[in-house]
Structures are given as C-alpha cells and as structure tokens.
Amino acid sequence: MLDTAARTAYDENHIAFRDTVRKLFERELIPHLDRHEAEGIVDRNFWRACGDAGLLCPTVPEELGGLGLDFGFNAVIDEELAYAGSSAGITLQSDIVCDYIVNYGSPEQKAKWLPKMISGEVITAIAMTEPGTGSDLQGIKTTARRDGNHYLINGSKTYITNGQNADLIILVAKTDPTLGAKGMSLILVESDRDGFARGRNLDKIGQHSADTSELFFNDVRVPITNCLGEEGKGFAYLMSQLPQERLSIAVSAQAGAQRAFDEAVKFTKDRKAFGKTIFDFQNTRFQLADLKTKLQVGWAHLDYCIKRHLAGELTPAEGAAAKLWHTELQWEICDMALQLHGGAGYMNEYPVARLWRDARVTRIFGGTSEIMKEIVSREI
C-alpha cells in the first residue's frame, strides 16, 4: 500500500477518495490482474464498476453530469492503478479524452458522450500516431475531406490505447493538408461507422492488459458536426492538453517506481544467501538507500507539479520535465528492483517482472524522453 502520510498535494477529500479507490480495486481489479494480462484486454465489467464508483472522468463539471472534482482525484486513481500493477486504460479516458470533450465539445457532443463515459458504458481512445509518424504530429497522413455536409476519412493509426474496446475515437486528421499544423482537426469517429476497422491487438513487450491496436479508416463518413471544436485548431488543442497528459504519465511512473522498490525491499528481507538475508549485505542496503532517496525527491516534486497544475500554472516545459524525470526514475528503480531479485526477478510469477516490462514504454509514449529534453531546452 502506498504510504501517503507525507504527501502535500492532497486534502482530506482526496484522502477519503483514495480509500474508495483502493476498496474498488481490491474487489474488482487485483483478483483479475493475471486474467487481464493473459487476455490482453480489460473487460467492460471493470469499466462499469469504475463508473458506478465515480472513478471515471471525475473532473467533468456537475452541470454536465459529472462530480466536478479537480485533477487531484485523477492523480489518486493514477497512483493506485499503477501501484496495483495494472495498465488498464481508464486513465486515458479520465485524464486525456475527457478534457478534450469538456473543453472543445459542442453542447450536443457533451450531452451525448460525457454521461456514457462517466458510467463506463462508452470507452474512448485518441488516435494520433500513425505507422510512419510518432512524436512529429505534423507529419500525419490521415485525411478528413469535406464531402457535402460530411467528412470522408481515409488513413490508418497504430499503437492506439483502448483500440479494441473503444466505442468512440478522437481522430487527429488533416482537413486541409496544404496548411501544415493549421490544417489539422480533431474528429469524433464512432466505432460502428462503415469503413472503420480494427486491426490486431498488438503484441507488446509489456502492458499486456492494455489493448493497443491498429485502426483503419477507409472512406469513413461522419457528419461535419463530429468535428471537435473548430476545424483547423486540432494541433493547438493537442498542444494545450499535453501538460496534463504528461503529468498523468509522471504520476503513474512515480507510483510504479514505488511499487517496484517496495517489492525489492520485501524480497531482499526474506531471501537468504550465505547465512543471512540479501538485505543484510551492505551493497543491497546502499542500493536501496539510494533508490529511497530518489523516491523521496520524486514524491516531493510530483506534489509540487500537481499543485502547480491545480492552480493552472504548470507550463508545457514543466509537464515535459516531469514526464522525463519520473519515467526515467521509474525505469532505473524497476531495473534495480529486478536485479535485486536475482533470477527470481526474471520469472513472471513475481510482480517485479511485470512492473519492469510495463515501465519500459513510459519513456516513449506521450513523447519520448528525447523529445521531452528538446521541449525543456527551449525554455533555457
């Protein structure tokens, strides 16, 4: 269990909410972790259970059918999910997709989709990456061409979280390929549209329970009213939402790092070699002391970033720095935690193996560490 006694980003309401999250996960998530991993997807029963408990999209304003809570409640969920060792895509829905619809959706779009997203009836995805385009979003090839009062969409996306489950996709497409970034728009595409197809559930190194897919759009027709916000403003919308997306990743990374550390402590205090526990060796204690120190710094920095974000002050460079630092820390701690397990760490029956596998991609998605350095360097 995460030790939150020294946290400074949360008040008594967040603390009470964390207890709700833990109880729900203990009942509906943790007993099914191995099955989720084996099946490569988190079943809809878990989504509906999260919806019933108020764990989906908690920041949606009350007038739109939500709880009207702040991002700190999202962060609590992110921490507990990562500490549990799950890669379920509920954080994508609550931390990323939700705000696009709240901030840029029409009244009709909000009324149609937000209540179902809150309940878990509708699962969402956001489709940015393409087979030939990753961090450079301006290089996307998918197009949404006007055809009367409809868009005609053609293209493909890949590495899409929630791709197999998704009922609704926010598609990043070019509505005017001649205008570069100013020709990009966000289009809502329902998964039951003719011409839409899902590819395979991709076989990944880690995060096996996260359904990650290829998506194909072949003359998919959607009404012009499915444009999210203004046409041509898609790139600007994406950039404005990135600080929260990257903070969300940082939150999960820190909690995942803490779980790996806790597993290493537990294992080394139990496992014996040469007549004493692994923990009794000075090298082990020093390694763990170094990691504990970095975790202490990490939690303090994370609370700083959460409070900055709640105040509306977290800058894009600060969000990038948070993602960079916490995901790199996660990898360092997960790798050392596995090392301290010895051969046992390479066995899938030990939680540290899953934590190690799942940690590797966090330095890539949401913008690679190298891209984060580029963003931070622009502010120097």
Which residues are identified as catalytic?
A: 245
Number of Cα atoms under 13 Å in the Cβ half of residue 236: 10
Residue whose token pair is 């020294």 = 6
DSSP per-residue codes, 52-79: HTT-SSTTS-GGGTS----HHHHHHHHH
φ, ψ at 147 (rounded to 5°): -140, 90
Cα separation, 334 vs 203, in Å, equals 22
Q: Taking the C-alpha atoms of 122, 18, 209 and 347 in order, what is their torsion angle to the nearest 10 degrees?
A: 180
Helix/strand/coil for 351:
helix
Cα separation, 159 vs 365, in Å, equals 9
The neighbouring-strand residues paired with 155 are: 217
Find, among 128, 323, 160, the residue nearest to 243 by Cα.
323
Cα separation, 315 vs 98, in Å, equals 20
How many other β-carbons are positioned within 10 Å of the β-carbon of residue 16?
9
Cα separation, 340 vs 62, in Å, equals 48
Buried b (16+ CB within 10 A) or exposed e, 186-211: bbbbebeeeebebeebbebebbbbbb
Contact 332, 244 (CB under 8 A): no
φ, ψ at 298 (rounded to 5°): -60, -45
Give residues with Cβ within 8 angstroms of 266, minimum separation 6.
none
